[in-house]
């Protein structure tokens, strides 16, 4: 069809798809390759709390030294062991009425209370009896001996103290959920062995590398298939981009991955070992589940960033901002934090900031930064300066885009890997209403949560108005940090568009948006009355802004949510839209601007003279 | 209570409805048989190519109409009784009106070619045509497009997106020759050829023939050539839809005749948009089948209907289009052939599809128009320059202010000035310095009011 020979393109792209699919299948398949054997040696390093180790070890006896190939049943067994332990811990450690009766029988016989009676009552050497004897000794030793107390008095005291002791059993003897999660992951990790960790390089090549090469073989030939320009053909006819079947499959996969990452990282242990050597080299310690996530995340931004370079090769704006995204993700979000770990410094992503980085003001982070010398102090000051001074200043000058589509990691993924889904965002007025309520609520929640945490940090008082500040923080982390930003925010890309989190949830976006809306030079200028209302701009707006609604009445666009990606301007077939930073107020009074006639201005005499010159 | 009825829900009719609603409380009804809701006709090609779905082409959400109390009726109007002010619909329903707006749009031309109504032969104007094209292109391998204009190049782009070979018959010796000068036509032609279009210039359609299955299988041309094809797109312009108006006592010529206030010969009946033929004292009556003019006429008429009688004055002419990847804008008047007393300065990028032509009066040097390909220009700046009779020298020196390309794009104003100085060595023009804060964003230069 074309003058140049393009026959090679289709087969190369097809092989690319095959390679990608193969690599992806190997990547998924390796999750079922490990085997697990719990031994004394694997148990000890996994449970680093010696008390917990002592407590749980006897219960794990049934699982020891057996090789299991079924990951799910192995993890379930361990999880059950922990939950059974926690469920029965009270039963085993509390001082029962039988115990008390036995004790009181002896008291009745002797006429007084004596500590020696405890050894007789709890006539065994196990941990439970030892615990009960110790506790009763601590609580009742003052009662022992012939003090002339009546039997009724003694009975009352023993009953009273027993219930006091019982009230503390759970706190002292159960293992909290957070620790259980850590132990399960650590146990699965230390007890597992398999082909992936033995042949890491091989598996890396045939999964990640193969899929990357496949993706590039699909992406790069696009450059030679047609002249540069807007390439949106068949987007709404392909089920991989129109919200159809392939989108649903992709969404299911992403959601499952996020659930595993946040709540069940032990299921992706093979993926962690896949990048373990790489991270050992980078940070000196090795990989965690978040390492493989960060690695794939960065890789996705780079590969799909290359796709952006090619898709928008006619537009310097997209080329430069995609380059910026790739730079900030790979250097600031990926490499720098690992290098900081290696240097034994607090690891931090210097381009991230509160309130998106909601744990910045957590006690552990503040302690860690303030105890790390000059560099820690720098990070603390930098982190605060960035959102107190940096955000208002840069947003005034350049609009929200300086962060959201040029720097931010979440935005970076959305602009690259999420680009094929940008048109799926909902453009209705109702969606806009929901967006405004939800995103600003998250900002308010984040401020309250952070304020409470800081209050506790500086005063040491753990509750405000009867609410535990730590529970506020952990609720925020669960509902906003994990469910919203991860599972919904990214997992739902293929259904709700690529900016779900940025549009509905990100508290930083809400904050920057307020400045953009009320005090910024940034606007999208509408070119006179050139709009033909075709709808490309609105369709391809990832933030669900109905751009056309403004453009068709000649109104400039100033919206809190606009991240300045510039795609509306690119897809406009009449060149109607231009992102720019102006120094005058944008035209946003649509009562004045919904007239396309008579936009001729009156000239001053000097101007007329100079024109005729 | 008075009731405004608008026949046709294209851009002209809908603009009348919207602007009347902004200014008045009267009852408004739009009648159209094409689609239930207003959609953007200009976006039909993007539905076909899968850039958008039909839903995306609706400029207003479905709830908009009820919210603004604009009644929609999907039906044909069979009869208009202008005496009793009653419409009869195809369904038999009768609707009375106090004011009537004809916004019936236009229809595609067909010039009586043998075989022009065969299956597989079609025009592209309305939503039904789009559905037909979807059907007709399903098994098509080779298409012939007749007529070298905007709809034709859109059809070519649509078909090529489905991998269908396109041969383009153009009556003139260059593409869109009645509008574009030679250089620009060449540029578009070469770009379209890179996308796979085969042009046959100075060639007209003779006959269309059918195969055994009754569908089109070939055409013959005025040059005696026979071309095998399974799709024929006719895009030889449009003419106003006047059948209904003509049988309802309205004065018609090529379109529905209206005066400068868009009034027909019958009281309380108006016509806007493609279907209106504006009578002028001297020269040929004007028919303006454009999105922009439909919109401006609609706005003007809405004023008149709501009591603020306003003359339609479209101001400085402008238009724009996109040919595959190349954007085109024009402001003012640029003739397709040289005219006495008008000179033109033309600059073209040596490799890219970028060019600018500025025409100006030879004696006064006052700029009369601009064609720009591959560089977006600011509408209000050009409107300003043209309406204030700026000279070529001023325009060239300040060309930078008119640039509307996205940020970080390469600018060519220096190249343009250099080329001009080379062509006219007596001139030593220099670009005026960037006046970011004082000029570009001061009130006069933005469209702030």
Residues of chain A with C-beta less than 8 angstroms from the C-beta of B163: 1
Within an 8 Å CB–CB cutoff, is residue A437 touching chain B? no
Domain B3-107+239-305 and domain B121-236 have a common topology: yes
Within an 8 Å CB–CB cutoff, is residue B89 touching chain A? no
Q: Residue B437 above 60 pLDDT? A: no
pLDDT category, A174, cuts 50, 70, 90?
Answer: confident
d(CA B419, CA B416): 5
Q: Which letter does DSSP use for residue B263 in this model?
A: B
Please report the pLDDT score of residue A601 as a whole number.
39
Architecture of the domain defined by B121-236: 3-Layer(bba) Sandwich (3.50)
Q: Residue B433 above 80 pLDDT? A: no
Q: What is the DSSP string of B343-385?
A: EEEEEE-SSSS-EEEEEEETTT-BEEEEEEESS-B-HHHHHHH
Three-state SS for B157? Answer: helix
Please report the pLDDT score of residue A599 as a whole number.
37
Please report the pLDDT score of residue A608 as a whole number.
53
Q: Residue B320 above 90 pLDDT? A: yes
Three-state SS for B28? Answer: strand
CA A466 to chain centroid, in Å, comes to 29
Q: Which CATH class is domain B318-440?
A: alpha beta
Within an 8 Å CB–CB cutoff, is residue B165 touching chain A? yes
Pick the residue from chain B with its C-alpha nearest to A594: B19
Identify which of A502, A518, A501 has the alpha carbon closest to the alpha carbon of residue A561. A502
Task: Evaluate whether B325 touches B191 at the Cβ level (below 8 Å).
Answer: yes
Task: Evaluate whether B371 touches B331 at the Cβ level (below 8 Å).
Answer: no
**In this complex, do A587 and B437 lie within 8 Å of one another by their Cβ atoms?**
no
**In this complex, do A227 and B195 lie within 8 Å of one another by their Cβ atoms?**
yes
CATH number of the domain located at residue range(s) B3-107+239-305 in this protein = 3.50.50.60
Task: Evaluate whether B332 touches A600 at the Cβ level (below 8 Å).
Answer: no
Alpha helices in A49-115 (DSSP H): 50-56, 71-93, 97-110
Helix (H) or strand (E) holding A523: strand A522-526
CB count in 10 Å sphere of residue A48: 12
> pLDDT tens-digit profile of A19-68?
999 999 999 999 999 999 999 888 888 988 888 888 888 888 888 888 99
Residues of chain A with C-beta less than 8 angstroms from the C-beta of B290: none
Please report the pLDDT score of residue B438 as a whole number.
44
Question: What is the rounded average pLDDT for all residues in chain A?
Answer: 90
Three-state SS for A50? Answer: helix
Tell me the nearest-neighbour CA distance from B410 into chain A, angstroms: 8
Q: Residue A595 above 70 pLDDT? A: no
pLDDT category, B392, cuts 50, 70, 90?
Answer: very high
Three-state SS for A64? Answer: strand
Maximum mean pLDDT: which of A284-288, A346-350, B132-136: B132-136
Residues of chain B with C-beta less than 8 angstroms from the C-beta of A554: 447
Residues of chain B with C-beta less than 8 angstroms from the C-beta of A525: 404, 446
Q: Which letter does DSSP use for residue A209 in this model?
A: I
- Strand order of the β-sheet with B256-258 is B256-258, B276-278, B286-287
Please report the pLDDT score of residue A45 as a whole number.
87
Three-state SS for A586? Answer: coil
Residues of chain B with C-beta less than 8 angstroms from the C-beta of A237: 50
Nearest to A597 among B315, B391, B449 (CB): B315
d(CA B185, CA B190): 9
Query: How large a percentage of chain B has pLDDT more than 90?
Result: 90
Q: Residue A485 above 70 pLDDT? A: yes
Q: Bridge partners of B367?
A: B360
Which tokens belong to B437? 């804060």
CB contacts under 8 A, A 457-476 vs B, are: none
Helix, strand, coil shares, percent, chain B, to 5: 25, 30, 45
Q: Residue B447 above 50 pLDDT? A: no
Within an 8 Å CB–CB cutoff, is residue B92 touching chain A? no
Q: Residue B441 above 90 pLDDT? A: no
Please report the pLDDT score of residue A57 as a whole number.
86
Nearest to B379 among A428, A527, A594 (CB): A527
d(CA A524, CA A561): 12
Please report the pLDDT score of residue A58 as a whole number.
85
Residues of chain B with C-beta less than 8 angstroms from the C-beta of A588: none
Kindly state the average pLDDT of the residues B417-433: 89
Three-state SS for A223? Answer: helix
Please report the pLDDT score of residue B199 as a whole number.
97
Query: How large a percentage of chain A has pLDDT more than 90?
Result: 65
Kindly state the average pLDDT of the residues A323-343: 95
Please report the pLDDT score of residue A178 as a whole number.
87
Torsional class of A288: left (φ above 0), alpha (ψ -120 to 50), beta (otherwise): beta
Nearest to B443 among A574, A584, A600 (CB): A584
Query: How large a percentage of chain A has pLDDT more than 70?
Result: 94
Within an 8 Å CB–CB cutoff, is residue B116 touching chain A? no
Task: Evaluate whether B105 touches B274 at the Cβ level (below 8 Å).
Answer: yes
CB count in 10 Å sphere of residue A119: 11
Identify which of B46, B34, B113, B36 has the alpha carbon closest to the alpha carbon of residue B71. B36
CA distances (Å), A156 to each of A29, A104, A119, A144, in order?
64, 10, 20, 14
Find all residues with CB under 8 Å of A280, minimum gap 6, and list them: A286, A287
Output B386 or A144, whichever has higher pLDDT.
B386
Please report the pLDDT score of residue A125 as a whole number.
75
Q: Residue B443 above 60 pLDDT? A: no
Question: What is the rounded average pLDDT for all residues in chain B?
Answer: 93
Residues of chain A with C-beta less than 8 angstroms from the C-beta of B300: 597
> pLDDT tens-digit profile of B52-64?
999 999 999 999 9
Output A528 or A400, whichever has higher pLDDT.
A400
pLDDT category, A549, cuts 50, 70, 90?
Answer: very high
Residue A465, φ and ψ in degrees, nearest 5: 50, 35
Helix (H) or strand (E) holding A156: helix A151-173
ipTM: 0.94
Model-wide pTM > 0.80: yes
* Domains of chain A, residue spans: 35-193, 228-520
> pLDDT tens-digit profile of B64-82?
999 999 999 999 999 999 9
Q: Bridge partners of B96?
A: B86
Residues of chain A with C-beta less than 8 angstroms from the C-beta of B329: 530, 574-575
CB contacts under 8 A, A 499-528 vs B, are: 525-528
Q: Residue B362 above 90 pLDDT? A: yes
Beta pairing class for B269-271 and B205-210: unpaired
d(CA B56, CA A425): 12
Q: Residue A609 above 90 pLDDT? A: no
Within an 8 Å CB–CB cutoff, is residue B333 touching chain A? no
pLDDT category, A587, cuts 50, 70, 90?
Answer: low
**In this complex, do B390 and A578 lie within 8 Å of one another by their Cβ atoms?**
no
pLDDT category, A3, cuts 50, 70, 90?
Answer: very low
Please report the pLDDT score of residue A583 as a whole number.
61
Q: Residue A596 above 50 pLDDT? A: no
pLDDT category, A153, cuts 50, 70, 90?
Answer: confident
Q: Residue A355 above 70 pLDDT? A: yes
Kindly state the average pLDDT of the residues A407-422: 96
* Domains of chain B, residue spans: 3-107+239-305, 121-236, 318-440
Three-state SS for A522? Answer: strand
Please report the pLDDT score of residue B448 as a whole number.
29
**In this complex, do B388 and A608 lie within 8 Å of one another by their Cβ atoms?**
yes
Residues of chain A with C-beta less than 8 angstroms from the C-beta of B299: 595-597
CB contacts under 8 A, B 43-82 vs A, are: 43, 46, 49-53, 56-59, 61
Q: Residue A91 above 90 pLDDT? A: no
Q: Residue A584 above 80 pLDDT? A: no
d(CA A186, CA A87): 22
Please report the pLDDT score of residue A607 as a whole number.
53
Kindly state the average pLDDT of the residues A466-478: 90
Output A577 or A106, whichever has higher pLDDT.
A577
Q: Lowest mean pLDDT of A326-335, A362-371, B78-87, B272-281, name the range.
A: A362-371
d(CA A588, CA A538): 18
Which tokens belong to B75? 């039906």
Q: Residue B49 above 80 pLDDT? A: yes
pLDDT category, B434, cuts 50, 70, 90?
Answer: low
Which tokens belong to A51? 């008390």
Please report the pLDDT score of residue A554 as a whole number.
87
Kindly state the average pLDDT of the residues A381-401: 95
Q: Residue A597 above 50 pLDDT? A: no
């Amino acid at each position: 069809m074309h003058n140049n020979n393009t026959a090679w393109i289709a087969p190369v792209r097809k092989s690319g798809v095959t390679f990608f699919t193969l690599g992806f299948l190997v990547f998924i398949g390796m999750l079922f390759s490990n085997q697990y054997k719990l031994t004394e040696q694997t148990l000890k390093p996994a449970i680093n709390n010696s008390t917990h180790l002592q407590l749980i070890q006897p219960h794990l006896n049934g699982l020891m030294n057996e090789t299991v190939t079924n990951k799910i049943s192995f993890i379930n067994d361990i999880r059950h062991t922990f939950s059974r332990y926690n469920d029965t811990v009270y039963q085993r450690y509390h001082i029962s009425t039988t115990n008390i009766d036995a004790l009181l029988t002896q008291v009745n016989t002797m006429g007084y209370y004596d500590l020696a009676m405890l050894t007789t009552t709890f006539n065994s050497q196990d941990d439970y009896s030892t615990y009960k004897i110790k506790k009763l000794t601590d609580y009742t030793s003052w009662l022992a001996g012939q003090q002339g107390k009546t039997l009724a008095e003694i009975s009352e005291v023993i009953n009273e103290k027993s219930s006091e002791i019982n009230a503390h059993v759970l706190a002292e003897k159960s293992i909290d959920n957070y620790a259980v999660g850590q132990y399960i992951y650590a146990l699965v990790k230390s007890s597992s062995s398999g082909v992936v960790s033995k042949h890491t390089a091989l598996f890396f090549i045939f999964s990640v590398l193969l899929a990357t090469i496949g993706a590039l073989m699909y992406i790069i030939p696009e450059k030679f298939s047609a002249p540069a320009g807007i390439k949106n053909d068949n987007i709404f006819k392909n089920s991989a981009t129109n919200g159809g079947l392939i989108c649903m499959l992709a969404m299911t996969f992403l959601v499952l991955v996020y659930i595993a990452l946040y709540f069940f990282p032990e299921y992706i242990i093979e993926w962690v070992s896949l990048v373990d050597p790489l991270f050992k080299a980078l940070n000196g310690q090795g990989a965690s589940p978040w390492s493989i996530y960060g690695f794939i995340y960065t890789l996705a931004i780079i590969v799909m960033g290359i796709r952006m370079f090619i898709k928008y090769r006619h537009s310097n704006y997209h080329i430069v901002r995609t380059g910026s995204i790739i730079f900030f993700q790979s250097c600031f979000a990926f490499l720098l934090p690992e290098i900081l770990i290696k240097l034994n410094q607090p690891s931090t992503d210097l381009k991230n900031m509160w309130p998106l980085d909601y744990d910045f003001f957590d006690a552990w982070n503040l302690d860690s930064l303030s105890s790390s010398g000059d560099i820690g102090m720098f990070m603390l000051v930098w982190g605060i300066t960035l959102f107190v001074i940096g955000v208002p200043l840069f947003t005034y000058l350049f609009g929200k885009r300086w962060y959201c589509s040029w720097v931010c990691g979440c935005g970076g993924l959305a602009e690259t890997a999420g680009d094929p889904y940008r048109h799926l965002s909902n453009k209705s007025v109702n969606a806009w209403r929901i967006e405004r309520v939800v995103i600003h609520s998250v900002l308010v929640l984040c401020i309250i949560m952070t304020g409470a945490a800081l209050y506790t940090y500086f005063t040491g008082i753990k509750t405000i108005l009867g609410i535990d500040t730590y529970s506020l923080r952990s609720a925020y982390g669960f509902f906003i940090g994990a469910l919203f930003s991860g599972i919904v925010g990214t997992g739902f890309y293929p259904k709700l568009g690529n900016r779900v989190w940025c549009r509905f949830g990100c508290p930083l976006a809400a904050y920057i948006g307020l400045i953009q809306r009320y005090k910024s030079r940034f606007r999208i200028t509408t070119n006179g009355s050139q709009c033909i209302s075709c709808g490309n701009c609105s369709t391809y707006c990832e933030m669900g802004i109905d751009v056309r609604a403004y453009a068709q009445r000649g109104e400039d666009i100033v919206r809190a949510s606009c991240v300045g990606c510039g795609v509306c301007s690119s897809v406009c077939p009449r060149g109607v839209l231009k992102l720019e930073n102006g120094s005058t107020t944008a035209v946003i009074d649509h009562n004045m601007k919904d007239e396309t006639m008579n936009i001729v201005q009156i000239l001053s005499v000097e101007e007329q003279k100079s024109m005729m010159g | 209570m008075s009731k405004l009825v608008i026949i046709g829900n294209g851009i002209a009719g809908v603009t009348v409805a919207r602007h009347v609603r902004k200014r008045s409380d009267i009852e408004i009804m739009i009648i159209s048989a094409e689609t239930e809701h207003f959609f953007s006709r200009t976006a039909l090609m993007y539905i076909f190519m899968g850039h958008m779905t039909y839903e995306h082409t609706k400029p207003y959400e479905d709830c908009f109409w009820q919210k603004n109390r604009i009644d929609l009726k999907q039906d044909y109007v069979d009869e208009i009784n202008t005496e009793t002010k009653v419409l009869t619909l195809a369904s038999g329903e009768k609707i009375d009106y106090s004011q009537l707006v004809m916004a019936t749009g236009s229809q595609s031309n067909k010039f009586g070619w043998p075989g022009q109504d065969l299956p597989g032969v079609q025009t592209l104007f309305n939503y039904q045509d789009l559905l037909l094209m979807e059907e007709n292109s399903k098994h098509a391998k080779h298409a012939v497009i007749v007529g070298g204009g905007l709809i034709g190049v859109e059809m070519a782009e649509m078909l090529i997106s489905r991998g269908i070979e396109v041969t383009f018959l153009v009556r003139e010796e260059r593409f869109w020759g009645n509008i574009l000068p030679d250089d620009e036509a060449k540029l578009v032609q070469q770009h379209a050829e890179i996308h796979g279009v085969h042009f046959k210039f100075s060639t007209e359609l003779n006959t269309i023939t059918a195969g055994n299955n009754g569908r089109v299988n070939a055409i013959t041309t005025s040059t005696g050539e026979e071309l095998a094809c399974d799709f024929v797109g006719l895009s030889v312009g449009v003419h106003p839809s006047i059948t209904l108006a003509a049988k309802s006592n309205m004065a018609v010529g090529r379109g529905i005749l209206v005066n400068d206030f868009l009034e027909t010969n019958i009281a309380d009946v108006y016509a806007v948009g493609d279907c209106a033929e504006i009578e002028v004292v001297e020269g040929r009556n004007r028919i303006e089948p454009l999105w922009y003019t439909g919109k401006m006429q609609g706005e003007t008429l809405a004023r008149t209907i709501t009591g603020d009688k306003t003359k339609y004055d479209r101001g400085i002419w402008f238009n724009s289009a996109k040919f595959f990847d190349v954007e085109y804008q024009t402001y003012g008047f640029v003739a397709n052939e040289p005219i006495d007393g008008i000179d033109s300065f033309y600059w073209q990028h040596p490799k890219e599809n970028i060019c600018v032509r500025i025409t100006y009066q030879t004696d006064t040097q006052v700029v009369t128009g601009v064609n720009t390909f591959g560089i977006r220009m600011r509408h209000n700046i050009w409107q300003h320059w043209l309406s204030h009779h700026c000279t070529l020298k001023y325009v060239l020196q300040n060309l930078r202010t008119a640039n509307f390309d996205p940020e970080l794009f390469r600018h060519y104003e220096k190249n343009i000035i250099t080329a001009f100085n080379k062509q006219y060595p007596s001139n030593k023009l220099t670009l005026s310095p960037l006046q970011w804060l004082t000029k570009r964003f001061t009130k006069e230069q933005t469209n702030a009011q």
